[in-house]
Homo-oligomer: A and B are copies of this chain.
Amino acid sequence: VTAPWVAGVGPEHPFGVYNLPYGAAVLRGVPSLVVRIGDLALDLSAACAALRPDLAPLVAGPVLNPLLATGPETWRELRGAVRSWLVDEAHRPTIEPQLHPLDGLALRLPFAVGDYVDFYASEHHATNVGRLFRPDGDPLTPNWKHLPIGYHGRSGTIVVSPTEIVRPSGQVRATDTPTFGPSQRLDFEAEVGFVLGGATTSGVPVRLDQAREHIFGICLVNDWSARDIQAWETVPLGPFLGKSFATSVSPWVVPLDAFDDARVAPPARDVALLSYLDDETSEPWGLDIELCVEINGVQITRPPFSTMYWTAAQMLAHMTANGASVRPGDLFASGTVSGPSDDQLGCLLELTRGGSVPLRLADGGERSWLADGDEVVISGRVPATSGRPELALGEVRGRIRPAG
């Protein structure tokens, strides 16, 4: 267990030297990449310029994409270097002046998003939604246990926490003809996101055992959803404007290596998987991440990511099985994380049974759907066990502004 020389950041700190997430902030007026340690942001460009000029060009710009384009060897080299700077007193005179208090920094999206894919990987979520939308049919579609269902989302409207979200307007189904107006069924979705790196070749899939070469890090995602707009548009080609107005991500991308002690086996597979998805003998890709969602400061649910049926490695293998290439900066998200119990559901659609059972907030309020002014905060952590310290993923925050 290693402690940095940084004051107040012990070895058990959830943003200690076992975490070291990447972010971006405006430092001295310049958009810069940073690494978080405790409640401080290390100016990565300045530190590299002083101590590792060979790596400095990869982190000189406002986004991680040049670093993402390299690969796991370089990712590990940089991460090891940053850790050594923060632990080794000899580097303190050089590094300490490059630490900035996070308080007051404007955080930015640390990567330029290529393509954004959203999956649907929680069996509990898919089952609950299936029961609501198709009460007379099987809750899961016939394909659900054979492949991780997913679709492309809008990458241009991905915003960083705590960007405010304007309530979307759109067409919704009415008795005879549709009407247009502000969504009356605005929802959050608590998800985990995966930031990709390394180059792949068109026509060459990423195998399950190659996932580590392309998954750079993990963030939190709020896939805001206008359920009324979504319901009317979604057949036959899937979600579109019910999702595309905004998707929020946390400002910190935690390197995949930080989750080495959080790997757990995914749920048992009920049906045999085709070989490109069969993870029976692969390293475990389940992740023991606990999410927590608050509305206006009141905790409403704690979805456990370890219950997800499909893993990130399977999502990536599936997404590229047809030969589609991925690019540095591509993002994919898990889909709503819901556990088996009522206090583990990852969106209001499930928590309120389609809006029919309003959620009682501890402050006395009630919500079927999000109201203007509501602030949703999704946070995530790997809880401490005897073998590992707590690891924080930070939070993704967003407040609803009235429709324009």
Is A352 positioned at the interface, with any CB of B under 8 Å from its CB?
A: no
> Which B residues lie within 8 Å of A114 (CB)?
155-156
Pair A115/B155 contact, Cβ less than 8 Å? yes
> Which B residues lie within 8 Å of A117 (CB)?
240
Within 8 A of B (CB), among A112-165: 114-115, 117, 120, 130, 133, 141, 143, 146-147, 149-157, 159
Cα distance A244–B238 in the bound complex, in angstroms: 15
Q: How many copies does the complex hold?
A: 2
A interface secondary structure, majority:
loop
> Which B residues lie within 8 Å of A177 (CB)?
146, 271-272
Cα distance A121–B134 in the bound complex, in angstroms: 27
Within 8 A of B (CB), among A194-245: 202-204, 226, 229, 232-242, 244-245
> Which B residues lie within 8 Å of A169 (CB)?
321-323
Is A171 positioned at the interface, with any CB of B under 8 Å from its CB?
A: yes
1/0 per residue, CB under 8 A from B, across A82-117: the answer is 000000000000000000000000000000001101
| Stretch with Cβ within 8 A of B (4 or more), from A291-299, A325-333, A377-385 | A325-333
Binding site for B on A (CB under 8 A): 114-115, 117, 120, 130, 133, 141, 143, 146-147, 149-157, 159, 166, 168-171, 173, 177-180, 202-204, 226, 229, 232-242, 244-246, 271-272, 274-276, 318-319, 321-327, 330, 404
